[in-house]
C-alpha cells in the first residue's frame, strides 16, 4: 500500500508524515494485553489497526468507514472494562471489526466468506461476542436485560457496556429501552453514544439536532460559572440577578446544552468526549464505570477517520465497500448495472409523472436507490431515520391524505414493521407501495440480512399484492402497475446485485376459473414449452422472479431428455394468479422455485389455492427454496447450490418429481 493514505501522526492519529508500521497488534491476543502498552504505543497501535483495516477490507469488502471511526474508542473500552466478564454489546455490529482484532481474531483474509470471519459479532467465533443481530437500535434493550439479570443473580460487580451510534438512536426501540433503563438506578450499565453525525448518511431528526448542540456547546458549565462570578462580584443587585438566573438554570441548560434531555430521563450524562483521544476516553469511561446507576458517555468520532478516500466520500464515508484499490478507494471491478439502479431511474420518472408520489426511506436514501429522486425533487423524499415501523404507519397516513408513498427498504428490515403493514396499511386498504431491495439470499451479509422471509410473511396480509420481476423490463412494469393501485398495499421485490439477461415471453397462460390474463396481476409468462408431443407426465416448472434463468436452463435439458415441461414466470405472485392456479391443476407434476422460504412461500400458497379451487386434484408437488433456518455466511452462489436452487439442483429435483409422478 502506498504510504501516506493512513494516519501517521503519533499524537493525533490524523493523516500526516510517513511512518513505519510495527507489529503491536500481533502482540494483542486478548484484551488484557492492552494493559501493558504505553500511551505512545496505544497511539501507534491505533494507526496500525487502521492500516490493517484498509488493507484487509480492500481485499474482501465490508464495513470500512464505521470501523475506522471507532479504533481509539474500542481500545479504551477494552482497557477500561474486562470482557467477557463485563458484557460488550455493539448496536448493529457495523463497528465490531476492531473489537474482533483486540479479542484474538486478526485473520481477516476471508472476511464475510464461508469459513472466515463474520461481518458482524458472532458467538461461534468468540466468548466476547454477544449480539449477532445486525438490525439497528436493539443494543439498549439487550443491555437492559443483561443488567437486570446481573442484579437478580447477585452479580453486581459486572458491568454492561452498550455502544450505540447516533443513527441507531433514531430508532424507537432505543427510546423504549431508555425509558425502562431510567426507571431502575441500581444497574452497572454504561451507554456509549458513538456520535459521528451519521448512520449510513448524515443522521436526521430531532435527536440529531440535540446532539449537534452538544457537539457545539461543550463549554456550557464554564460559561455559567463565569456568569456566576461576575454577578456575585456586583453586590446585592448582582446576587439578586444570580438568584433569578439560578431559578432559570434548568431552562437555560435545556436551551444551550441538551444533555438535560437525557438527565430528565433520569440517566446520568457525561461528555462530549473526543473519541480519538484514548486518554480522555479512558478518563470518561473510568468515571462512568464507578457509577452504580446507568450513565451515558457521549463520544464524538469521525466516520472513516484516517483514510483520505473515506474522509472525502460525501455520501456515507465508505460505510460499506466492495473490493477496492487501497491507494485510491476506487472499486477493483466496476459495479454492474443492477436492480437498485433500475429502481432509482424508474422512481424519478414516475414521480415526474405523478405529483402524489413520494419516496420514504429509513436512513438508507442512497443504498435503496432514492438518492436520485432526492437530488431531483428533495421535498419528495422523506427520511424517517432508523424507524421502519414509523415509516409504514406514516405512509398509511400519507395515503389517506392523498399521496402515494413508495417505501424503499432492504427486505430484511421489513420484518421489523410487519404489524404496521398488517394493521395500519393492510387493514385500512392504504395505497402504499413497498419496494424491497436485497430480497432473498444475500449471502455474505450474514444470517440477519438475508431477505428470505418476506413472501411467507406478506401472504398473510389480506388484499396485498406482491410482484417478483425476473428482469429489468419486468421491474419497470411492476413499479408502474404498483403505484397505480390506490386502495391496497403493493409490494415489489428484487435481489441484490446485477440484473440477469432478459428472457423473452412466448405468450401468456390462458385464463380460467376467474383468471384474466389481460389483468396485470394475473399475467403469467410462458418462457419454455418443451416436449408437447411426447408422452409421460406433464411438468409445470414455476419460476419466481430472477430464478427464471436457472429454471429455463433446467427446462431445456429436460426437453432434450424427452420430458414434457412448461416453464412459466408469474409477474405477480401474491395472491396466486388464477391462470397459474388453473395451469397447476392441469399438470401432473408442479415444481416451484423461489428465492425465499420454501415453507409457507409461493409454492405453498399456490398448492393451497389449487386445493381450494380444484378439490381432489392431486398433482405431485415439489417446492425448492430457502429452508427455515438461520443461514451461515456464504456467497449467494454457494447457498443456491446448497439448497438445490441452481440449474443442477433444479434438474435433479425435476427428474425425481417426474419419476414419482410417472
Active site residues: 303, 388, 416
8 A C-beta contact, residue 449 and residue 477: no
Element (H, E) at 190: strand 189-195
Complete DSSP assignment for 390-421: HHHHHHHHHHHTT-EEEEEEEHHHHGGGHHHI
Residue located via cell numbers 448524515: 202
Query: What distances in angstroms separate CA 637 from CA 113, 184, 381, 395, 447, one per listed residue?
Result: 12, 49, 34, 36, 15
- 136 among annotated binding-site residues: yes
**Cell 474508542 found at:** 73
Q: Are 455 and 574 in contact (CB under 8 A)?
A: yes
Q: Which residue do the cell numbers 422472479 mark?
A: 545
Residues 6+ apart with CB under 8 A from 576: 570, 602, 605, 606, 609
- Give yes or no for a contact between 76 and 302, defined as CB atoms under 8 angstroms apart: no
The reply to whether 94 sits in an annotated binding site is yes
Q: In what order do the strands lie in the sheet with 572-574?
A: 381-383, 357-361, 404-410, 433-437, 490-493, 465-467, 572-574
Q: Was 166 annotated as part of a binding site?
A: yes
CB 7 within 8 A of CB 16: yes
For residue 311, what are the CA distances in angstroms to 58, 195, 302, 316, 457? 16, 16, 8, 9, 40
99 is in an annotated binding site: no
C-alpha cell at 343: 429502481
SS3 491: strand
Torsion on CA atoms 513, 517, 518, 524, rounded to nearest 10: 150
**Is residue 196 marked as binding?**
yes
State how far the Cα of 456 lies from the Cα of 443, in Å rounded to an integer.
19
Phi-psi region of 77 (alpha: psi -120 to 50; beta: other; left: phi over 0): alpha
Residue whose C-alpha is closest to residue 366's, from 433, 404, 314: 314
Q: Note whether 452 and 477 are within 8 A (CB).
A: no
| Annotated binding-site residue? 8 | no
Pairwise CA distance, residues 258 & 265, whole Å: 12
Residue with cell 401468456: 508
CA angle 155, 165, 371 (to 5 degrees): 155
Q: Cβ–Cβ contacts within 10 Å for residue 500, how many?
A: 17
9 among annotated binding-site residues? no
CA torsion sign, 173 to 91 to 81 to 296?
negative
Q: Is the dihedral of CA 241, 244, 249, 251 positive or negative?
A: negative
Q: Is 446 left (phi over 0), alpha (psi -120 to 50) or beta?
A: left
Spatial distance between the Cα atoms of 521 and 523, rounded to a whole number of angstroms: 6
Give CA torsion, residues 63, 68, 71, 73, to 10 deg. -90
Q: How many residues does the chain have?
A: 662
Q: Is 400 annotated among the ligand-binding residues?
A: no
Cell numbers that stand for 493 in this block: 421485490
Annotation-wise, does 351 bind a ligand?
no
Positions of E strands within 468-557: 490-493, 524-530, 538-543
Q: Does 307 appear as a known binding residue? A: yes
Binding residues for Mg(2+): 166, 196
Binding residues: 94, 134-136, 166-168, 196, 307, 388
Binding residues for thiamine diphosphate: 94, 134-136, 167-168, 196, 307, 388
Amino acid at each position: 500500500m502506498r504510504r501516506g493514505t493512513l494516519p501517521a501522526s503519533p499524537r493525533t492519529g490524523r493523516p500526516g508524515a510517513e511512518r513505519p508500521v510495527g507489529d503491536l497488534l500481533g502482540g494483542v491476543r486478548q484484551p488484557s494485553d492492552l494493559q501493558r502498552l504505553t500511551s505512545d504505543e496505544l497511539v501507534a497501535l491505533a494507526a496500525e489497526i487502521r492500516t490493517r483495516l484498509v488493507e484487509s477490507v480492500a481485499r474482501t469488502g465490508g464495513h470500512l468507514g464505521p470501523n475506522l471511526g471507532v479504533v481509539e474508542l474500542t481500545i479504551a473500552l477494552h482497557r477500561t472494562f474486562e470482557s467477557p466478564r463485563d458484557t460488550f454489546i455493539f448496536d448493529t455490529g457495523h463497528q465490531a471489526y476492531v473489537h474482533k482484532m483486540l479479542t484474538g481474531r486478526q485473520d481477516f483474509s476471508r472476511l464475510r466468506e464461508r469459513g472466515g470471519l463474520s461481518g458482524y459479532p458472532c458467538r461461534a467465533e468468540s466468548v466476547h461476542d454477544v449480539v449477532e443481530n445486525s438490525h439497528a437500535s436493539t443494543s439498549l434493550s439487550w443491555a437492559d436485560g443483561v443488567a437486570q439479570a446481573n442484579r437478580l443473580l447477585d452479580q453486581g460487580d459486572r458491568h454492561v457496556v452498550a455502544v450505540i451510534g447516533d443513527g441507531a438512536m433514531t430508532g424507537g426501540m432505543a427510546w423504549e429501552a431508555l425509558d425502562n433503563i431510567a426507571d431502575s438506578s441500581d444497574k452497572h450499565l454504561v451507554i456509549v453514544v458513538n456520535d459521528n453525525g451519521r448512520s449510513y448518511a448524515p443522521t436526521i431528526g430531532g435527536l440529531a439536532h440535540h446532539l449537534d448542540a452538544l457537539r457545539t456547546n461543550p463549554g456550557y458549565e464554564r460559561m455559567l460559572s463565569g456568569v456566576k462570578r461576575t454577578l456575585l462580584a456586583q453586590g446585592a443587585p448582582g446576587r439578586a440577578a444570580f438568584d433569578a438566573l439560578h431559578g432559570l438554570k434548568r431552562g437555560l441548560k435545556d436551551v444551550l446544552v441538551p444533555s438535560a434531555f437525557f438527565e430528565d430521563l433520569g440517566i446520568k450524562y457525561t461528555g462530549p468526549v473526543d473519541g480519538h483521544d484514548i486518554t480522555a476516553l479512558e478518563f470518561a469511561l473510568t468515571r462512568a464505570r464507578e457509577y452504580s446507576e446507568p450513565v451515558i458517555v457521549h463520544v464524538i468520532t469521525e466516520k472513516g477517520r484516517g483514510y483520505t478516500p473515506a474522509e472525502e466520500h460525501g455520501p456515507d464515508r465508505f460505510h460499506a465497500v466492495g473490493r477496492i484499490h487501497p491507494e485510491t478507494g476506487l472499486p477493483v471491478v466496476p459495479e454492474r448495472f443492477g436492480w437498485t439502479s433500475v429502481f432509482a431511474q424508474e422512481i424519478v420518472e414516475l414521480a415526474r409523472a405523478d405529483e402524489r408520489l413520494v419516496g420514504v426511506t429509513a436512513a438508507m436514501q442512497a443504498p435503496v436507490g432514492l438518492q436520485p429522486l432526492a437530488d431531483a425533487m428533495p421535498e419528495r423524499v422523506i427520511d424517517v431515520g432508523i424507524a421502519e415501523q414509523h415509516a409504514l404507519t406514516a405512509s398509511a397516513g400519507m395515503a389517506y391524505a392523498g399521496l402515494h408513498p413508495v417505501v424503499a427498504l432492504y427486505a430484511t428490515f421489513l420484518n421489523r414493521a410487519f404489524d404496521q403493514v398488517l394493521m395500519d396499511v393492510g387493514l385500512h386498504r392504504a395505497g402504499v407501495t413497498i419496494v424491497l431491495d436485497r430480497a432473498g439470499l444475500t449471502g455474505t451479509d450474514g444470517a440477519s440480512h438475508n431477505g428470505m422471509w418476506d413472501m411467507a410473511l406478506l401472504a398473510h396480509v389480506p388484499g396485498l399484492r406482491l410482484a417478483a420481476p425476473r428482469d429489468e423490463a419486468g421491474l419497470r412494469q411492476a413499479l408502474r402497475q404498483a403505484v397505480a393501485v390506490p386502495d391496497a398495499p403493493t409490494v415489489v421485490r428484487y435481489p441484490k446485485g446485477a440484473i440477469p439477461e432478459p428472457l423473452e415471453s412466448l405468450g401468456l397462460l390462458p385464463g380460467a376459473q376467474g383468471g384474466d390474463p389481460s389483468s396485470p396481476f394475473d399475467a403469467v409468462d410462458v418462457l419454455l414449452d418443451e416436449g408437447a408431443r411426447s408422452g409421460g407426465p406433464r411438468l409445470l416448472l414455476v419460476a419466481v422472479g430472477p430464478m427464471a434463468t436457472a429454471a429455463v436452463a433446467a427446462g431445456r435439458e429436460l426437453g432434450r431428455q424427452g420430458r414434457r415441461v412448461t416453464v412459466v414466470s408469474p409477474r405477480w405472485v401474491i395472491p396466486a394468479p388464477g391462470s397459474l392456479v388453473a395451469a397447476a391443476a392441469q399438470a401432473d407434476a408442479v415444481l416451484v422455485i423461489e428465492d425465499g422460504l420454501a415453507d409457507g412461500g409461493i409454492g405453498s400458497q399456490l398448492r393451497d389455492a389449487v386445493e381450494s379451487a380444484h378439490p381432489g386434484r392431486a398433482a405431485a408437488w415439489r417446492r425448492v427454496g430457502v429452508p427455515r433456518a438461520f443461514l451461515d455466511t456464504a456467497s449467494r452462489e454457494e447457498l443456491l447450490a446448497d439448497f438445490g436452487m441452481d440449474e443442477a439442483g433444479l434438474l435433479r429435483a425435476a427428474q425425481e418429481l417426474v419419476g414419482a409422478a410417472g
